Amino acid sequence: MMNTFGHIFRVTTWGESHGPALGATVDGVPPGVAIDEGMIQHWLDRRKPGQNKFTTQRREADEVRILSGVYEGQTTGTPVQLMIENTDQRSKDYSEIAEKFRPGHADITYWLKYGIRDPRGGGRSSARETAARVAAGGLAREAIKAIAPGIEIRGYMTRMGVHGIERADIDWEQIERNPFWTPDARAAATWEGYLNDLRKSGSSVGAEIEVVVRGAPAGLGAPIYAKLDTDLAAAMMSINAVKGVEIGEGMNAARLTGEENADEISMGPDGPEFSSNHAGGILGGISTGQDIVVRFSVKPTSSILTPRKTITKSGEPAEIVTKGRHDPCVGIRAVPVAEAMAACVILDHLLLHRAQVGNGPRGTIG
Amino acid sequence: MMNTFGHIFRVTTWGESHGPALGATVDGVPPGVAIDEGMIQHWLDRRKPGQNKFTTQRREADEVRILSGVYEGQTTGTPVQLMIENTDQRSKDYSEIAEKFRPGHADITYWLKYGIRDPRGGGRSSARETAARVAAGGLAREAIKAIAPGIEIRGYMTRMGVHGIERADIDWEQIERNPFWTPDARAAATWEGYLNDLRKSGSSVGAEIEVVVRGAPAGLGAPIYAKLDTDLAAAMMSINAVKGVEIGEGMNAARLTGEENADEISMGPDGPEFSSNHAGGILGGISTGQDIVVRFSVKPTSSILTPRKTITKSGEPAEIVTKGRHDPCVGIRAVPVAEAMAACVILDHLLLHRAQVGNGPRGTIG
Amino acid sequence: MMNTFGHIFRVTTWGESHGPALGATVDGVPPGVAIDEGMIQHWLDRRKPGQNKFTTQRREADEVRILSGVYEGQTTGTPVQLMIENTDQRSKDYSEIAEKFRPGHADITYWLKYGIRDPRGGGRSSARETAARVAAGGLAREAIKAIAPGIEIRGYMTRMGVHGIERADIDWEQIERNPFWTPDARAAATWEGYLNDLRKSGSSVGAEIEVVVRGAPAGLGAPIYAKLDTDLAAAMMSINAVKGVEIGEGMNAARLTGEENADEISMGPDGPEFSSNHAGGILGGISTGQDIVVRFSVKPTSSILTPRKTITKSGEPAEIVTKGRHDPCVGIRAVPVAEAMAACVILDHLLLHRAQVGNGPRGTIG
Amino acid sequence: MMNTFGHIFRVTTWGESHGPALGATVDGVPPGVAIDEGMIQHWLDRRKPGQNKFTTQRREADEVRILSGVYEGQTTGTPVQLMIENTDQRSKDYSEIAEKFRPGHADITYWLKYGIRDPRGGGRSSARETAARVAAGGLAREAIKAIAPGIEIRGYMTRMGVHGIERADIDWEQIERNPFWTPDARAAATWEGYLNDLRKSGSSVGAEIEVVVRGAPAGLGAPIYAKLDTDLAAAMMSINAVKGVEIGEGMNAARLTGEENADEISMGPDGPEFSSNHAGGILGGISTGQDIVVRFSVKPTSSILTPRKTITKSGEPAEIVTKGRHDPCVGIRAVPVAEAMAACVILDHLLLHRAQVGNGPRGTIG
């Protein structure tokens, strides 16, 4: 319950940053989905650290092994275990981290809650846990293909610190062409220098990421606590360092009038069409058939070179400087994680929909 | 599963806008909590429509009845049924609404999903459903008092359309003194004229609401999918018309550097203290003991007098004007709803914490 | 979670014996199922007390009201609230029951667990709660008809105290023709005198009930904890006074050899056929397409006229005699309850199956 | 959901008989429980095949590895991954098994449900899955010790085929002294010859197992679907080959009168005492403080040397003889599995109880 998400397609992640391994136990997988380790590895490689100077230099092979639930290249309908061994558990002196609390880290809350914590690399609160989500997302993508082909899930960065993208310049072709997964080529150029400066000065910066699900059928989601936007918001908020989640207009909806926010409806060749998408593709918690648009913020990592005030376990005042292999903008690596979470949620709702309603949308128009 | 939230304290709401009744079935209630209908009615009265010219003129008594789970003024530990009968089901011609889809309404998605919908007053997608949440929240508040006295939960409006509050002017004493639940007296004055104009012109406007949980112990929440921020985000996003949710800095975290975002730690007389609260009282999904700060946006209601383009069930183009009893700023009534949702989530995590860890925080400092 | 069962079709019951009402909140109902109160009342009437001298003389109208989730005679896919008001809350002196614990009753365990209990008629532990299950089962039956027509669910008594039925004499036509729901006409005759004697002497007796699900497709159920037999066993064991549950051979399987227990397979015109049904229609937790056979025992009610030793709340020794309106064989009224539980479980697995696998069985033979 | 059990202490098992590994993902583990691999291995060794001539000769090291959730010998409160690698995946010709269905096996139902199955050693339906449960049970036992010391959980065989034990001869000291885990030394002697004959003739036989939980506090369990007996029944029924589950008197309760079945109450030095335990330690789904007594039957394995009629995947009639390493009485190895399941359920209810009610029973007597 605590480390699990999903209604039917249920993903339970396990593992710590510096334990022997981590992974995802995935239940509710439809049978007969063609899958192999390479297909999942593809997505893990996108998330893998150490690929350029802007992501942590920790070197992890991040090789996934499928330990169960797949026979002769197909899912069997039984639980799929996706395991990633931790290879770079380099010996390190954790005594300072074990004694002092790092501002902005979960170490103080884990300590206060459990009375015990694994100080090695953040333990369970480390962003390494997200590798398991990416693996599960890779499996979800293949199941989606089998059930609802034509769905595309794209994530990209829309802001790094003070620099946002120009919405008019969004070009999905650009996403893979820069180290920031941004669809705005000019933003990429600006960000390169900006982040280089931050990195050199030992600083860090926040980011904003957007995920779009294109081609999802109308009718996914359900009142009240299985709303599609509720589940997407929870999925994104559960990612490390996320502090805000938006659907469509998001927080900006507070500023609009009803006239400004209206998405007028007309009849297109394949069904209803909308003049705009302020709703982000979801009305009343149920998908409209438009692009589903989710956006979230990632806070700057608290691992910076500027000394900060803190306390020790025994309550003494102290200063702390976080050295080591850290990302100046952790938001970059959140992009493939967010795509994976979106894939898991969409698959789950495809299954939940056919559970309750049967296959495909029920109501017809025209 | 679909209409339920919570891990231990589980609330299932049921009922439609114009059915005979609606309510909340609440399971996992701790036994021995002193409760009566008056204590729940108190909170329902705050949400009740028709209290001033800025909320819908529908007149509902919104009288709650406790049908089970309480004996001689105390909860027994068995399910509590909270029922509210719908008294104002005034006869009305729903034929236009039944035939045309309203832009921004859930009627098109309910139709596409289920192939059937209750057109009377929005059916299940109506904001009337939130009365059941407020009732459940009233019960949660009393259980919280019994388990963790000293927790205070306050919601208030921080923005109406283009007009935000001044954070420096926040004064909780003001919240009850204006029809907008805003803690900024000057904002209240501005909003009065602003909303009057919008109301007269048949327009509507969005809003931003903030909920603060003060006095919650450190240690509430758990990785990964029972994170306190995950559950709060889901709780708020599940409220009608909500499009964005923020914890602490929220979306603004994307703009900050690590130095700007740091909450430094020092030792206070009662435990750790923090120099600031960018985190919104939650680190790694677990409460720090600071104020827990959640914020969300509510879109403007789509019920406006300006005609908008839409289609009929048979796919024909049409125009629609929504007449009737509607709130120009539905965000106002979301304030008590959000407080109720926060109360339910906090109680649930108090119970979940003592399930896994026992009573109270485990780790000690100093 | 505590008062809920089902994966997709989720039934939460609420209410006490002598509270104002009780009911079932049913989520995950497929949309478009034709239903009205009369269709549910039909099943409630079968369970209703006071129909003959062998069931409690408490007179309850047991009239069900549908408060939500149905519009113009069809389910909408939103939660269905089924409420039954308690009309016969006849004033009675509960002071003795409130002070002394009744051997075999849940009053001592409720007290030890919660520190509070509703002594009126057993409160939540009363068999009255099963009326809510029967109502939910009535709804489940209609949904089954819509999804998998041809499924028949029949329950009947196979033993009353020392008198079992003759399996060779089973004739489903007899079930409705005697007050014991037994398919063996000769057993019915024997039981009449037997139970009359027990009733007159203020005694009580146990019973054995069997439920058969005929016409269910192969493929329902799933490893490991959504096995069809696991869910059926839990469903039956959750009924008041049930002490044992069997599938197919049941406890007798312990006495058999592999040769005796084998159900050989051959090919019939419509798929695989089996030479026998020791398995009770379930292999590896998944239905075979044969009759699904569940059996359970109901203990004799502890409400007897013979004085028994007990203690008071203050720990003093005492004697107790339970007077009042009690069934000499509560097993009789468990028959419609068990049918209802079976209907809920079967529907739930029909939905769960199409969630994961899509419509209908996947593997074909021949 | 499908491969998971438990409310708070949640165990998800994964893995197939002949895949690379299998295991249990355990969430909701209380923090600070002292645990290491040796403590879990102890219980796995009791279940391990190949220990005597009466259990399968497949040789599995069954070495458990803790991959997460434990730091420096203590649980951290995060998910514990318990993995057991399959070492004896001996190459074998599965072509016959892949083509023909084995009567009494799950292969036909898996095929009909999923349209794909792993024929190697039974795949997911193999009893090898129970190793994961035993590992989880080992962890549960240590957590129970920490939370409610003094609870003892013992399983033993009470019947093998036509030979039952004498209840008067039960002596727990005998359980470890014979290969059948039976507490009746004379039965053990009889069974040895009986089973030897069955084994030599290539036959198999069923068994009955009883599990007793001694020293559990009163107050565990909750209405209606978290009843302790409901959860225990489901736990046992989910074990491979189980066909019946009983609490206390079990199926025999159908034969008793109210006078015979009464457990009279008196006041003992430490609280209420009962003159007998027909109830099996549970009233109204909640523990009384007496021994909790669960019993279940295991059917004879269908793997026998006598040829049986079956069909092929293409629907042709065929005969099948199951050769290979099989247990003549699979019930023997079910004993440690059942103990493990009981441990998981009891721990789960200890946690659930303190979630809702706080620590310890609430109501006091005397």
User: How do the pLDDT tens digits run along chain C, 366 residues long?
Assistant: 899 999 999 999 999 999 999 999 999 999 999 999 999 999 999 887 666 677 665 667 899 999 999 999 999 999 999 999 998 766 566 777 788 999 999 999 999 999 998 888 889 999 999 999 999 999 999 999 999 999 999 999 999 999 999 999 999 999 999 999 999 999 999 999 999 999 999 999 999 999 999 999 999 999 999 999 999 999 999 999 999 999 999 999 999 999 999 999 999 998 999 999 999 999 999 999 999 999 999 999 988 889 999 999 999 999 998 776 578 999 999 999 999 999 999 999 999 999 999 976 678 887
- What are the residues facing A66 on neighbouring strands? A82
- d(CA A15, CA A24) in angstroms, rounded, equals 9
Centroid of chain to Cα B356: 27
* Residue-wise pLDDT tens digits, B321-345: 877 657 899 999 999 999 999 999 9
The token pair that represents D80 in the structure block:
């514990």
* D357 SS3 class: coil
The pLDDT of residue B142 is above 70: yes
Full DSSP string of B242-260: EEEEEETTGGGGGG-BHHH
The amino acid sitting at A214 is R
CA distances from B118 to B108, C356, D334 (A): 12, 29, 53
- d(CA C317, CA C302) in angstroms, rounded, equals 18
The amino acid sitting at B107 is D
The pLDDT of residue A186 is above 90: yes
- d(CA A206, CA A164) in angstroms, rounded, equals 11
Contact B30, B351 (CB under 8 A): yes
Tokens 């770079």: give the residue: A88
The mean per-residue pLDDT over the stretch A17-42 comes to 97
pLDDT at position C297 is 98
pLDDT at position D60 is 74
- d(CA D165, CA D167) in angstroms, rounded, equals 6
The token pair that represents B28 in the structure block:
């996992």
Show which residues on chain D lie within 8 Å of chain B, measured between beta carbons: 8, 28-32, 77-78, 147, 222-223, 351-352, 354-359, 362
- d(CA A96, CA D338) in angstroms, rounded, equals 46
The pLDDT of residue D86 is above 70: yes
Tokens 């200063």: give the residue: A319
The token pair that represents C115 in the structure block:
């520190």
How long a stretch of residues is chain D?
366
Give B301's contacts (C-beta < 8 A, 6+ positions apart): A258, B104, B204, B241, B326, B327, B328, B330
- d(CA C180, CA C188) in angstroms, rounded, equals 7
The amino acid sitting at B193 is G
- d(CA A5, CA B226) in angstroms, rounded, equals 9
Q: Which of C195, C261, C278, C298 is most worth mutating to test chain D (most D CB atoms within 10 A of its CB)?
A: C261
The pLDDT of residue D91 is above 70: no
Counted across chains A and D, CB pairs separated by less than 8 A come out at 150
* Residue-wise pLDDT tens digits, D17-74: 999 999 999 999 999 999 999 999 999 998 876 666 776 656 678 999 999 999 999 9
The whole-angstrom distance between C129's CA and the closest CA on chain D is 9
Buried b (16+ CB within 10 A) or exposed e, C28-55: bbbbbbebebebbbebbebbbbeeeebb
The mean per-residue pLDDT over the stretch D173-192 comes to 96
- d(CA B86, CA B122) in angstroms, rounded, equals 14
- d(CA D305, CA B106) in angstroms, rounded, equals 63
The pLDDT of residue D304 is above 80: yes
Buried b (16+ CB within 10 A) or exposed e, A264-279: bbebeeebbbbeebbb
pLDDT at position D324 is 63
- d(CA C287, CA C289) in angstroms, rounded, equals 6
Tokens 């009365």: give the residue: B131
pLDDT at position B303 is 84
pLDDT at position C61 is 83
pTM over 0.95: yes
The amino acid sitting at D10 is R
- d(CA C326, CA C312) in angstroms, rounded, equals 22
The mean per-residue pLDDT over the stretch D208-234 comes to 97
The token pair that represents C148 in the structure block:
């998998």
The pLDDT of residue A236 is above 70: yes
The token pair that represents A196 in the structure block:
């280089």
Helix (H) or strand (E) segment spanning residue B356? helix B331-356
| Facing residue for A297 by CB, picked from B254, B266, B306 | B254
- d(CA A356, CA B112) in angstroms, rounded, equals 14
The whole-angstrom distance between B73's CA and the closest CA on chain A is 30
Treating both helix axes as pointing N-terminal to C-terminal, what angle do D37-47 and D130-147 enclose, rounded to 10 degrees? 130
pLDDT at position B90 is 64
The token pair that represents D199 in the structure block:
């084994």
The whole-angstrom distance between C316's CA and the closest CA on chain B is 25
- What are the residues facing D1 on neighbouring strands? none
Q: Which residue of A has its CA nearest to D5?
A: A1
Q: Considering only CB atoms, which chain B residues are within 8 Å of A286?
A: 106, 109-110, 112-113
The token pair that represents D86 in the structure block:
């399959």
* DSSP conformational letter for D141: H
The whole-angstrom distance between B114's CA and the closest CA on chain D is 25
Q: How deeply is A138 buried, as exposed, middle or buried, from its count of CB atoms within 10 A (0-12, 13-18, 19+)?
A: buried
The whole-angstrom distance between C341's CA and the closest CA on chain A is 19
Nearest to C39 by CA among C75, C7, C12, C88: C75
CA distances from A275 to A278, B103, B261, B302 (A): 10, 10, 39, 15
- Other C-beta atoms closer than 10 Å to the C-beta of C322 total 22
Nearest to D336 by CA among D185, D186, D176, D169: D176
Q: Which residue of A has its CA nearest to B222?
A: A2
Q: How deeply is A159 buried, as exposed, middle or buried, from its count of CB atoms within 10 A (0-12, 13-18, 19+)?
A: buried
Buried b (16+ CB within 10 A) or exposed e, B243-272: bbbbbbbbbbbbbbbbbbbbbbbebeeebb
Report the share of chain A in percent with pLDDT over 70.
Answer: 95
The amino acid sitting at B363 is G
- d(CA A13, CA C51) in angstroms, rounded, equals 55
- Other C-beta atoms closer than 10 Å to the C-beta of A51 total 14
- Other C-beta atoms closer than 10 Å to the C-beta of C73 total 10
The pLDDT of residue D258 is above 90: yes
CA distances from D159 to A322, D137, D211, D295 (A): 64, 24, 13, 11
On the question of a cis peptide bond just before residue C224, with omega within 30 degrees of 0, the verdict is yes
The pLDDT of residue D102 is above 70: yes
Contact B174, B183 (CB under 8 A): yes
Nearest to D204 by CA among D332, D37, D22, D110: D332
The amino acid sitting at C236 is M
pLDDT at position A91 is 59
pLDDT at position D56 is 64
| Facing residue for D283 by CB, picked from C105, C219, C246 | C105
Average the pLDDT over each of A230-234, B38-42, D44-48, D151-155 and give the range with the smallest value.
D44-48
Residue B228: phi and psi, rounded to 5, are -65, -40
- d(CA A253, CA B242) in angstroms, rounded, equals 9
| Facing residue for B351 by CB, picked from D30, D77, D355 | D355
Treating both helix axes as pointing N-terminal to C-terminal, what angle do A331-356 and A37-47 enclose, rounded to 10 degrees? 140
Show which residues on chain D lie within 8 Å of chain A, measured between beta carbons: 1-4, 7-8, 10, 12-16, 19-23, 25, 27-28, 31-32, 65, 67-69, 71, 74-81, 83, 113-118, 123-124
Tokens 């069931």: give the residue: C55
* DSSP conformational letter for A41: H
Query: pLDDT band at D94, cuts 50/70/90?
Result: confident
The pLDDT of residue A323 is above 90: no
- Other C-beta atoms closer than 10 Å to the C-beta of B63 total 15
Show the DSSP H helices in C7-148 as ranges. 37-47, 95-99, 107-114, 130-147
pLDDT at position B360 is 61
Give A114's contacts (C-beta < 8 A, 6+ positions apart): B357, B362, B363, D31, D32, D76, D77
pLDDT at position A49 is 67
- What are the residues facing B286 on neighbouring strands? B283
Whether complex ipTM tops 0.95? yes
Full DSSP string of B91-158: ----HHHHHBPPTTSTHHHHHHHHS----GGGGGGSGGGHHHHHHHHHHHHHHHHHHSTT-EEEEEEE
